[in-house]
Structure 1
């Protein structure tokens, strides 16, 4: 059986140097967040969450489009259902939201490497990642408003990454945001020459992978926990986390190494 007749996997995974790279792999369909893609992402994140060898994750995409978001053909087919698709829409949106929350809950930091366009739920996917690197030709938008379908679920991730004015401008206009503007408004961390987003994401992942893994896991979790709290509760929570952190073996080693002017040796 030659390669052309093998079913195409919607998602590819490769691991090197403690970094897992997940690549959306349906370029001819613009990497939609279809049922198959959401299932594959969910399974990959579950496997990575339990994999102590993985210190950081990169989310990339094959082809000229990062992700066009929900598979509208798949969704429209269910308008013929007796309930006009209500149960299906609720299910697919719930599954998509669960995958976005998996990224936030993942112990390891996730870095999006974006070339081309990331639209609607594809833009939500970038906003849901902890960090994002964009090639200078990358573009972002939440275009639902053009077709009478406000991007309400992408709004959750956008509104937690951008200021209210910037998030609402994207949501209300549906206009394309170029990479440099995405950098200015905080949707991405850095912009690199076109074609170099993956290389830069790997460099960034390498910097993170060299840190104490237990400390990174603890810090990422605490960041998202405190962000949903009021000021006093956030400080109380962060202080309690820091007490536990101070008593952890890696902090003792790291502080000792700093004072003794030597390189720390982290636990796995």
Structure 2
């Protein structure tokens, strides 16, 4: 188990917390491995229906990559023996997550930390938390997190953030639909719990197969997506959860999901 990430379970909800408060919960290889371990744990346990990703303390969700200069003074290097950077591995794993990922943004989410936020399915943030990408201020560009940023951030906002390096507050991010909710710090837990509860009471099979399909449809052409969609819909209609959902609707009772 990673010393930089804490995993805790509360019924069907798994919370993954980055525990590097003294380093503003900065992202490094150990943190990435810890988050990945949590996602793997959730995949292996069908009773986990949602994952909350957060940081320790009240200052930072994640302040970005914990970069150290290389021997020649460069701020970033790739290992030729392992060209798949740990951030790329983490983001691929997040993209494959079968359960909904909810970011509980307890503080600033900057650079790679903002990428992690954008990689989650839903976001509840402190209204005063700063979000942004400051790489241009040190001669870099947010290359590693662009795939997620392009999904969630309107082009004009994305360009301004990348080219100026200036952050925005979660309240501003809400206006651009980058987060789902921006609330006072005192309301963060209650709003996160409220959102998660609305997720875990729905069909885990429908969510799991729906997320899988959405990930594939994103990379398809329009015509290919329209061929794939009815195939998946027919498969989903044969699941136990779908049959239970229809029966509960007709019988006017709450559904009893099996996750199958």
Pairwise TM-score range, normalised by the shorter structure:
over 0.9
Counterpart of 1:32 (choices 26, 37, 45) is 26
CA distance in 2, matches of 1:46, 1:102: 9
Deviation at 1:110, TM superposition (A): 0.4
Partner of 1:117: 108
Q: Is the 8 A contact 1:19 1:57 kept in 2?
A: yes
Q: Is the 8 A contact 1:69 1:122 kept in 2?
A: yes
CA distance in 2, matches of 1:96, 1:115: 21
CA distance in 1, matches of 2:87, 2:149: 15
- Unpaired runs of 5+ residues, structure 1, are 1-7
Deviation at 1:267, TM superposition (A): 0.9
Partner of 1:247: 238
Aligned positions, number: 258
Give the TM-score, by structure 1 length.
0.89
Give the TM-score, by structure 2 length.
0.92
Partner of 2:127: 136
Q: Secondary structure at the match of 2:252?
A: coil
Partner of 2:169: 178
Matched, 1:67 2:67: no
Q: Secondary structure at the match of 2:178?
A: coil
Deviation at 1:263, TM superposition (A): 1.7
Partner of 1:56: 50
CA distance in 2, matches of 1:245, 1:42: 27
After the TM superposition, list the runs of 4 or more consecutive aligned residues in structure 1 that deviate by more than 3 angstroms. Answer: 83-93
Partner of 1:13: 7
Counterpart of 1:79 (choices 67, 71, 79) is 71
Counterpart of 2:156 (choices 148, 155, 165) is 165
Deviation at 1:89, TM superposition (A): 8.6
Q: Flag the 1:90–1:111 CA change in 2: closer, same or farther, 3 A.
A: farther
Deviation at 1:177, TM superposition (A): 0.7
Q: Secondary structure at the match of 1:88?
A: coil
Q: Flag the 1:134–1:84 CA change in 2: closer, same or farther, 3 A.
A: closer
Deviation at 1:13, TM superposition (A): 1.1
More helix by share: 1
Q: Is the 8 A contact 2:67 2:76 kept in 1?
A: no
CA-based RMSD of the aligned residues comes to 2.2
Q: Is the 8 A contact 2:128 2:171 kept in 1?
A: no
Partner of 2:254: 263
